[in-house]
Amino acid sequence: MALIFDPDAHRYTLDGVELPSVTQICRFLSYDDKSDRPWLAEVAARRGTAVHEACALIDYGEVPEETPEIAGYLKAYRRFLKDCQPEWEGIERPLADLRLGFAGTPDRWGKMGGDRVLVDIKTGCALRIPALSAQLLGYNALLEGLTVHLDACYGLRLDKSGVYELRQVEPNFRLFSACMTLHNATKGRKP
């Protein structure tokens, strides 16, 4: 099976079939606290992308460009790496499953403290547990298709102050299923 991921359009195509992403499916659980300032969401998204890309470079043993905007987040990530010493098996790897009908790019999975874990990196001001638990369920399902069986799932919030929060989160089937139902009911409409 040939998976094509277009990162600019955030579009996944598997064997010629376009699949929704876990992020698109879970969008019903996302909300913007500052909806009167929509440009903040764009700024936060760009920052989050830059942090994710820089963290991947760190994981691959490279030195990322460290702008003042993301330096604190990278300090937090390095602290997490030092404290938890994960051994990543997958880093930002696009996955898809026609049977499940969706695709996605889990941030990290591998061994940590003797367990096989899935870690999703966040750069917002708080971990939004309902959205995160649905998102982790989607990624967990994609990994099961690769016969990767997880012991635990975590949200890793990196803060601009250089600290991190690591929180175990239970994947939530009912929330993900409800989001999938809503996604299927609104196909063809702009998210």
pLDDT tens-digit readout, 34-53: 455 554 567 777 898 999 99
Q: What is the pTM of this model?
A: 0.90
Spans of all domains in the chain: 16-184
- Is residue 2 over pLDDT 60? yes
Which residue type does 141 have? Answer: A
CATH for 16-184, among 2.20.25, 3.40.50, 3.30.390, 3.90.320?
3.90.320
pLDDT value of position 36: 55
Q: Among the listed ranges 8-17, 27-36, 91-100, 118-127, which one has the minimum average pLDDT value?
A: 27-36
